[in-house]
């Protein structure tokens, strides 16, 4: 079974031992956006130097690809840290490569991200379907993608299972691209 989302570099991991010392990440001090719905925490604003971010409000995970290729991960209740991306094509890369950034840009274009509404419909399967990745039942949570281009920031939310991009409706290909460049879920059995 493949895992959903990524295998995070832990302090004991080989990959992280070789990772560069994370530069200090400036705290985000931008004013909070108005909440989307009363019970939901506000979407973390996408910083000016970030190309693409994915936020999972239920778990608190936040993944960011900076415009210089740095992969920034915030674990629940943790601090944001630069992490080695798990790229399908460039295993030795310490950051998402220039061509990887181009591929992410193309993925944003291919799903028409900057023209999408603030919320899109997922494609969750009928009941009693499980993920091949983990064997658990498919379960929808919020996935909030934000991307920035030419000073414009767009945020799109979908209710889907993070373990299966086929449930993410029009955002599936974008998730796949992020997965291939950084998240590494593609690599797990």
Partner 1 sequence: MESGGAGNAAAAEAVAGGDGGASPAAELATVGAPEVLGEGTAGRDGGTFSWVDDAMNAMGDALDMRSGEDRLDAQEELAAFRRRTFTPLTDHHPSSGFGQFDVTFDAATGAMVVTLKVAYDFVNGSPAAVSPGFRPEEFQWTPAEQTAWSTRYEADVSAQWSSRHVFHSTKPFWTAMLVNTTVRVVQDASHPHFRLTVAKYPNDAGMAQSSVCDPGRHHDATGDLCSVNAPAADGSVPGHGTGSFDSNDMRPEQKLDWGNATVAVSFAQGGAALSTAGAALLQPVIAQLQAAPTAHVELTGRSSTDHRRGAPAADRAVENMDLARARAAAVRSALIAAGITADRVLVRNQGEDAADAGAEWRRVDVQVGDHEMQDPALHETGHMLGLGDEYAVTGAGVGTPVEAGYQSMITATTGEVLARGRDESAMGVGSTVRPWHYSSFLEALRVISSDQSWGI
Residues that bind partner 1 (CB under 8 A): 1-10, 12-16, 18-19, 59-63, 73-76, 78, 84-92, 94, 97, 99-100, 102-103, 125, 128-136, 138, 163-166, 184, 186-189
The interface partner of residue 10, options being partner 1, Zn ion, none and the CB cut-off 5 to 8 Å by kind, is partner 1
Q: Which residues contact 117 (CB under 8 A, 6 or more apart)?
A: 156
Lay out the sheet containing 141-149: strands in order across: 80-83, 71-74, 61-66, 50-56, 141-149, 152-160, 119-120
Closer residue to partner 1 (CB): 42 or 102 = 102
Q: Which residue is nearest to Zn ion (CB)?
A: 1
Strands 141-149 and 152-160: antiparallel
Binds 119: which of Zn ion, partner 1, none (CB < 5-8 Å by kind): none
154 binds, among partner 1, Zn ion, none (CB under 5 to 8 A by kind): none
Residue 124 Cα distances to 10, 133, 166, angstroms = 31, 15, 8
Measured from the CB atom, the residue of 1 and 48 that comes closer to partner 1 is 1
Residue 151 Cβ, how far from partner 1 at the closest point, in Å? 26
Give buried/exposed letters for 98-127 (b at 16+ CB in 10 A, else e): eebbebbbebbeebebeebeeebebbbeee
Name the token pair of 184: 């590494």
Which residue number, 14 or 27, has a Cβ lying nearer to partner 1? 14
Q: Which is nearer to Zn ion, 128 or 189 (CB)?
A: 189
Least CB distance from residue 140 to partner 1, whole Å?
A: 13
- Contact assessment for residue 158 and residue 122, using Cβ atoms and an 8 Å cutoff: yes
Restricted to residues 1-40, the positions that interact with Zn ion (CB under 5 A) are: 1
Read off the tokens for 16: 């992280």
Binding residues vs Zn ion (CB under 5 A): 1, 189
């Amino acid at each position: 079974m493949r895992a959903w989302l990524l295998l995070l570099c832990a302090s004991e991991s080989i990959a992280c031992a070789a990772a560069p010392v994370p530069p200090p990440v400036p705290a985000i001090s931008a004013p909070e956006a108005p909440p989307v719905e009363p019970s939901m925490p506000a979407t973390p604003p996408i910083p000016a130097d970030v190309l693409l971010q994915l936020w999972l409000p239920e778990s608190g995970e936040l993944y960011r690809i900076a415009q210089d290729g740095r992969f920034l991960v915030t674990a629940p209740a943790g601090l944001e840290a630069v992490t080695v991306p798990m790229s399908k094509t460039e295993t030795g890369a310490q950051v998402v490569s220039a061509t990887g950034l181009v591929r992410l840009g193309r993925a944003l274009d291919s799903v028409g991200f900057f023209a999408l509404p603030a919320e899109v419909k997922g494609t969750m399967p009928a009941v009693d379907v499980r993920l091949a990745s983990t064997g658990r039942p498919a379960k929808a949570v919020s996935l909030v993608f934000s991307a920035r281009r030419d000073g414009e920031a767009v945020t799109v939310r979908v209710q889907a299972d993070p373990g299966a991009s086929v449930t993410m409706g029009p955002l599936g290909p974008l998730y796949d691209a992020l997965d291939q460049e950084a998240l590494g879920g593609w690599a797990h059995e």
